[in-house]
Amino acid sequence: MNRKFKAVIGLEVHVELNTESKMFCSCSSAFGAPVNSNICPVCFGLPGALPKLNKRAVELAIKAGLALNCSINRIFNLDRKNYYYPDNPKNYQITQKDYPLCYGGSIEIEDSDGNYKTINIERIHIEEDAGKLLHLKDKSLIDFNRAGTPLMEIVTMPDITSPKEAVDFLKKLKRLLTALGVSDCKMEEGSLRCDGNISLYDKTYNTAYNKVELKNINSFKALEKAFEYEIKRQSDLINCGKSINKETRRWDEQAMITQVMRKKEKGEDYRYLVEGDASSYKISEEFIDEIKRSLPELPEERYKRFIRDYGLLPYEADLLCEDPCVSDFFEEAERTCSDPKAVSNWILGELFRMLKEKNLKLRNIPLSGDMLGKLILLIKEGSISSSGGKAVFERMFLEGKDPKVIVTEEGLLQNSDGKYIESIVDEVFIENPKALKEYKSGKENIATYLIGMSMKKSKGKANPVLVKEKVLEKLKRL
């Protein structure tokens, strides 16, 4: 009998908050500093060093909670999670257990049938990060720079039923948090990490099996591959009559398998204690209202507006709303040229191509949306050709120059003077009597040849649209 399994997946998403300093001290939280340069007695929990909660971290976590339709705990406290690990210098982590900052909330994704599905959020709590172990051939070193970095952990309910749904949820969450400015969500730098809790439900025998935890997955591709592998591994074990162990596993990117990190036959006793050095906190209604007023247009709202107001296709709107910088760039260009379709085509085509080729981000180049809009207007009014426009765009991308300046410097300005174009076409017709005779005999493709000869005679300076119109007009009169 082929047994039918349903995957039951819950996610724990760790998000590094976009603050200048750490959660409980004034040390910098910037990524990429020299090892062990951003540390202090508070980071290590040394005697007499007292933590002071970062207000900005609380504000950003509440901002995320409000955008995710969470409820906010007006009174919350911090807890100590006690455990020993080499990169945990205090032997405890300051986190939240019973009274998280936010609870409830949800994100909507599309299921495999194209219908909207709600993924519920259990809680959002704040905590500090641990350091980072650097594994060498025969030893491990520790960089404590990350210790104390402000984190927000978003825990979902086990509503996800496939690896694709997990990826879709994480992509939507990343897009939302980036648009809010809560985090840069750079997975390659560890500012967005995901753990997954996966179990199988046997629909044939109405049986639920043990849950397995997958730790610290840091890319969408790895998330999907790891979950696919783990679901297959568990289903194969069950089909062979073997049990599923309670354990924590990691994804091995090279071997493309999950591997055991530690067994979890018994619940881990972290001996949670209320953090005595940081008392309970009360959040005022005024503080929450102020954060509500600061919320920007959310990506999902913008996506729907782009389709409704600009007539874009869903896939176009989806790509344009991936990054708020791109969305803003699009709208700036559209305001200049009033041609959303052309702007979308240029962004999704030439702009994205060059960003990929040069390995750059939009925010790091001198090109503005207004400049792209001006370029599109030059093409629409016939001042330059489409091919000339691509050459101009490349210089705009690299140099940030106004398109009109580049057109002048490159000598790309097209001649749209009607009398000039008519004289060029007249000369071509006089020089090609054989072609005209062939056209009269029914070879209509001769028109393309005559258009090409006219453009050649003008050395590419004549407006091709007007040349085509003039050639076809004269041919009709033959």
Cα–Cα distance list, 335 to 114, 317, 352, 377, 408 (Å): 33, 17, 20, 11, 24
Dmax of the chain from CA atoms? 100
Cα–Cα distance list, 429 to 180, 425, 436 (Å): 62, 6, 7
Write down the residue that tokens 């979308």 correspond to.
344
Checking phi first, is residue 142 left (phi over 0); if not, alpha (psi -120 to 50) or beta? beta
Cβ–Cβ under 8 Å, residues 121 and 104 = yes
What was the pLDDT predicted at 266? 63
Please choose, from the candidates 12, 39, 291, 274, the residue with its C-alpha nearest in 3D space to the C-alpha of residue 144.
39
Checking phi first, is residue 400 left (phi over 0); if not, alpha (psi -120 to 50) or beta? left
What was the pLDDT predicted at 69? 96
What was the pLDDT predicted at 114? 74
Cα–Cα distance list, 384 to 39, 393, 396, 407 (Å): 57, 12, 15, 8
Task: Count Cβ atoms within 10 A of the Cβ of residue 333 and give its class: 0-12 exposed, 13-18 middle, 19 or more buried.
Answer: buried
Cα–Cα distance list, 226 to 164, 181, 222 (Å): 11, 29, 6
Give the residues across from 58 on adjacent strands: none
CA angle 168, 174, 176 (to 5 degrees): 105
Q: How many Cβ atoms from other residues are within 10 Å of residue 348's Cβ?
A: 16
pTM of the predicted model as reported, rounded to 2 decimal places = 0.84
Cβ–Cβ under 8 Å, residues 119 and 156 = yes
Cα–Cα distance list, 402 to 327, 340, 459, 463 (Å): 21, 20, 24, 21
The residue count for the chain = 478
What is the full per-residue pLDDT of the chain (478 aa) written as tens digits? 568 899 999 999 999 999 999 999 999 999 999 999 999 999 999 999 999 999 999 999 999 999 999 999 999 999 999 999 899 999 999 999 999 999 999 999 987 677 889 999 999 999 999 999 988 989 999 999 999 999 999 999 999 999 999 999 999 999 999 999 999 999 988 899 999 999 999 988 888 999 999 997 889 999 999 999 999 999 999 999 899 999 999 999 999 999 999 887 666 678 999 998 887 899 999 999 999 999 999 999 999 999 999 999 999 999 999 999 999 999 999 999 999 999 999 999 999 999 999 999 999 999 999 999 999 999 988 888 888 899 999 999 999 999 999 988 887 777 777 888 889 889 999 999 898 888 888 888 888 999 889 888 887 778 887 888 888 888 888 7
Domains of the chain: residue spans and CATH? 5-286 (no CATH), 297-410 (no CATH), 418-476 (1.10.10.410)
| Separation CA 70–CA 103 (nearest Å) | 5
The DSSP output letter for 304 is: H
Could you write out the DSSP letters of every residue in 112-173? TTS-EEEEEEEEEEEEE---EEEE-SS-EEEEGGGTT-EEEEEEE-S-B-SHHHHHHHHHHH
Cβ–Cβ under 8 Å, residues 215 and 37 = no
